[in-house]
Amino acid sequence: MSRPPAQLVLSDGATFEGYAAGHLPEKGVTSGEFVFNTALSGYQEIITDPSYAGQIISFTYPHIGNYGVTPLDEEALRPWCEGVVVRDLTDVPSSWRSVGPLEGFLRQHGVPAIVGLDTRRLTRHLRSHGALAGAFGHGPLDLVQRAASEAKGTDGADYVTAVTTTEPYTRGSGDLHVVALDYGIKTTMVRELARRFRLTVVPAGVGASEIGALNPDGVFLSNGPGDPAALGAQIQVLEELLGRVPIFGICLGHQLLADALGGSTFKLPFGHHGSNHPVQDLLTGKIEITSQNHNYAVVPESLQTAIVSHVNLNDGVIEGISNASERCFSVQYHPEAGPGPHDARYLFDRFESLLRTNSLELT
């Protein structure tokens, strides 16, 4: 397939060459914050994860698109990422599940891509210098360079307002009622909750009184994009809910719960994006392999009213917290794992146990 030449330029001036693919924007360039994902498969789930809003995903695995795309693997109604970077984009997929090629999916949803690029060099650069803003495109090099110099990262950015649902909706038919705050909730997350509960998913901007009026047995805090420190209104809502109803948070929901408990967050150098991160449960000693997608983490010294329940064995980052008296717990990683291993799906059962016994059992 013939593709026009394209350039990728990071905010520090590093330049890469490739070819434009997917959607070709009229202005010839797209910008965002570059991060890399180390998963070997699950590219469609990754691209449609709302947590990537404002970011450009570089896949470290060289061959992407091999098995095409299917609506069954979508984690949102559309991708929210700004673009994707691929070494080798497969033109002709092979899978009985496939309904079409990945590039057609990218074009359908207006997602630009750059392919044929040395993703190993890009990954090493991001590992050394941290996640960087930048731009890529098929426009003139000076246009891409100017866009890269003006590109913004995710610090201080609220992307939740853009990705959250605009109207409440319900799923499931269990005897327990859970209200899920949608900060950018993934479809697999909704599916796991709806298997166990009668679920009401509400916009991220609802207040504590509105949530209370729904009479939930528990509240779930979803994943989502951007900087948790930019979500003061959401943190205040959680402060009002603490102690009134059991709470379970994942990813951004974990960070916001930590903030509500008096903690704070910081930005990791290049984040955790992949499906094979080892995490240890400090109470049981068990180790699980986890799927992760986050750029921010909880500051250990900031926790005053919660205990650390899980840690990342690669770098010691806090991966879980709990507070038995407030009947709340959260994890930084993704127990629903779409894509990824299912080692941690027991956490949804732990949430159900909390709601049924009104006691947080951590063993």
Which are the catalytic amino acids? 251, 334, 336
Query: Tokens 């110099």 identify what position?
Result: 149
**Distance of alpha carbon 262 from the chain centroid:** 23
In the chain, where does DSSP find H-type helix?
Answer: 43-47, 102-108, 119-129, 141-150, 160-163, 187-194, 208-213, 232-241, 252-260, 346-357
Neighbours of 232 (CB within 10 A): 11
Sign of CA dihedral 295, 301, 302, 305: positive
Phi, psi of 216 (to 5 degrees): -80, 150
How many CA within 13 A on the CB side of residue 285? 0
Strand order of the sheet with strand 307-312? Answer: 169-171, 198-203, 177-182, 218-221, 247-250, 328-331, 318-323, 307-312, 265-281, 287-298
Question: CA-CA distance, 356 to 359, in Å (whole number)?
Answer: 8
Nearest to residue 225, comparing CAs of 308, 172, 160? Answer: 160
